Amino acid sequence: MPHTISERLFETFCQAHLIPFTRIDVPGKAEGKRPDYEISTKVGQIIVEVKEIDQNAEDIESMRLLHERGYGKVMTSNPGDRIRLKIASASPQIKARSKGKIPSILCIFAQASLAAHLEPHCVRSAMFGQQEMVVAVPIDLAESPYLVGSKLGGKRKMTKDCNRSISAIATMYYRYDGTLLIALFHNHFAVNRIPSKAFPPDVEQYYLRKSSRRLAPDWVKFHRG
């Protein structure tokens, strides 16, 4: 099966960072399904499923308007929707391959024009729920409602009962200077969690941490040492 752009880039990243990998072509796998990878790390083998966010009709129309008038259109999809679709399509493959014993990563790539779909807040929204504002309504109706905090709400794909076979979501993208990067967002509900020491420092890693009693949990970057 021919390599996709995302697969070629993933292999390039692994080679550049001395991460041994094996491409696994699954016999009888339907055309259009992505092949899995198995990478070797300091803590053992990890299954990786590589996906790519493709342009949809809304993206194409936005690009047309950008070239025509100098700016595109406001995206109407909810934050994390495109990542949710990838989680849904990859989860059965990952669950079957990992068999509840091997850590796994869903790695998602997007071209520069679609990179906004891989922003950390989109990953958080897809994994653990959309951010919702908590508003208090005073007893005195003459007073205006006021914001008291935020929380993570619906549309979550990772829970204590769902998608626990996916240990982390990885986003693969180009930095402004053309450097190919991978950021890893850990799933604290995973059956098999990935120790932070599994990857070299060039792989940024994030864990969800509660900010305060009134603010929604947010990503905290892992710092070595």
pLDDT mean over 46-57: 88
Report the range of poorest mean pLDDT among 18-22, 56-60, 123-127, 196-200: 56-60
Neighbours of 18 (CB within 10 A): 7
Order of strands across the sheet that contains 180-186: 21-24, 36-41, 44-53, 104-110, 168-174, 180-186, 204-209, 218-221
Report the range of poorest mean pLDDT among 97-101, 124-128, 151-155, 170-174: 97-101
Q: Which tens digits make up the pLDDT trace of 62-97?
A: 666 666 676 666 655 688 999 999 999 999 989 888
* 31, pLDDT greater than 50: no
Nearest to 104 by CA among 46, 148, 51, 145: 46
97 membership: H or E segment, kind and range: helix 81-98
User: What's the confidence (pLDDT) of residue 76?
Assistant: 54
Say if CB 69 and CB 136 are below 8 A apart: no
The amino acid present at 149, given as its one-letter code, is G
Say if CB 24 and CB 42 are below 8 A apart: no
Q: Output b/e per residue, 212-225; b: 16+ Cβ within 10 A.
A: eeeebbbbeeeeee
Dihedral angle sign, alpha carbons of residues 120, 124, 125, 127: positive
* C-alpha to C-alpha distance for 122 and 57, rounded to whole angstroms: 20
Count the residues in the chain.
225
pTM comes to: 0.87
Q: Output b/e per residue, 172-183; b: 16+ Cβ within 10 A.
A: bbeeeeeeeebb
Q: Give the whole-number percent of the chain exceeding pLDDT 70.
A: 86
**Main-chain dihedrals φ then ψ at residue 103, nearest 5 degrees:** -60, 155
User: What's the confidence (pLDDT) of residue 214?
Assistant: 84
